[in-house]
A and B are shown apart, each in its own frame.
Chain A
């Protein structure tokens, strides 16, 4: 029903794109916004007084406002960055001065490498302890283990909202409740890269202090990341990626940093990408996130049903259909072979460890296939995936 909004499919008739958890395709409105910006409105942001420069600055701040409206947050709590990985790294570096040897950080076995590596580097640099919450057989984070890991040295807890592999959803309110019950003052960070494209979200009510989302998974251009932070914390953090645009003034003996969020947004920003992201958010709002969620749920439910009926296909964990993510393995056929053969039939799925090495280590498998839903996914796409999987099995086992 939404496929016609995405011109890629008219250029590739018959293409089945089931890799939206990696990156989503772009609707025409996003492509138009990027093209129009580059052809008619491009200029420097926050630096110039001529009309083109002023328009560019207004467009930049408009993105912040649209993102704030989309996530029901305050504009001053939205930091515009180059991607979600940059947001994790910025946060890690900004929180670094608050950490001391012996402090503890809690992650989980579900996390994406982007939510592990920045903390691992900090841990090595400052002799911090990293704890990993285990997962259940269903692929959910074992939150009941959280109280036993929390100590007065726990300074940060950073968890995924929705697994990018097993498609399970973390009960963030439960995490917040457990933190409060323990009297923990740990900063609670949420990786929202896989939830933001599918769920209606009211960020201030999630219970976390920071929330990170990726623009390109939300039908926007690549090169855009969003960091939302509670103003009461964000305002206290130092500029950890200093550069152009982060200071009010700089002399040989004086630095005057800008207020947040501007002091976190160094360098000339990706204007066309941000305008494209604005168009993507407006597009999603036009459909309605409740409708988006229902679409995702419907397609993922069908996906689970179809894959579940194929002998020799094993679904990893118990994916929540709202995530739109289903990872699976096929008996005696490597994930790369499955993905490449599906690709030859114009069916696009991801294969590998999906930047979740520790999770695959826990699952005891080197790699898996992952099919993920987008707005353009149709029931026929799911049936074609299932048909092609059966054909591949026949080919390998003939």
Chain B
């Protein structure tokens, strides 16, 4: 069984580099996984179609929080359309580990929240 709790995941979940709130976000997204209680909220600053800043707040497991943090890093400075083109495989690649079906739900929640509920303020 692979150790999904490699240093990067624990480190990113304990000390997320993109955790927190933005001063003046232009977009927000909030969502949760009712079956496990994980909650993710996003704040984005989109300028001329580009994600110029991005933060997340997670009340979630280490895999979900690390996924959100790595996703935020990958999206910053990218066109907002990048969100809809991000695949689940891309998330697994960011985390760098194979995930069981249950933990895959944890890992994909941040992307699903962004994809399904991102709204301009």
Contacts and interface: CB of A to CB of B under 8 A. Distances in A.
A337 B62 contact: yes
Contact of B37 (A367, A395, A397): A367
A378 interface: no
B106 A336 contact: yes
B61 A334 contact: yes
B1 interface: yes
Given A352-B35, A366-B38, A367-B37, A395 B10 contact: yes
Nearest to B14: A396
Contacts of A333: 62
A161 interface: no
Main secondary structure of the interface of A (DSSP, over half): helix
B5 A395 contact: yes
Given A341-B5, A366-B59, A336 B14 contact: no
Interface string A346-367: 0000001100010010000111
A340 B61 CA distance: 11
B3 A353 contact: no
Interface in B31-47: 34-39
Interface string A335-346: 111001100100
B14 A337 contact: no
Nearest to B9: A337
B60 interface: yes
B60 A334 contact: yes
A366 B39 contact: yes
B4 interface: yes
Nearest to A336: B61
Interface string A387-398: 000000001110
Contacts of A366: 36-39, 59
B14 A352 contact: no
Contacts of B62: 333-334, 337, 396
A352 B35 CA distance: 8
Nearest to B35: A352
B103 interface: yes
Contacts of A341: 5
A316 B38 CA distance: 19
B53 to A, nearest CB: 27
Contacts of B63: 336-337
B37 A353 contact: yes
A95 B81 CA distance: 54
A337 B5 contact: yes
B95 to A, nearest CB: 14
A396 B61 contact: no
4 A-B pairs closest in CB distance: A366-B37, A334-B61, A336-B61, A367-B37
17 contacts: A333-B62, A334-B38, A334-B60, A334-B61, A336-B63, A336-B103, A337-B63, A340-B4, A341-B5, A344-B3, A352-B35, A357-B34, A365-B37, A366-B38, A396-B10, A396-B14, A397-B14
Given A353-B35, A366-B38, 12 more contacts: A335-B61, A336-B36, A336-B61, A337-B5, A337-B61, A340-B103, A341-B5, A344-B1, A366-B36, A367-B36, A395-B10, A396-B10
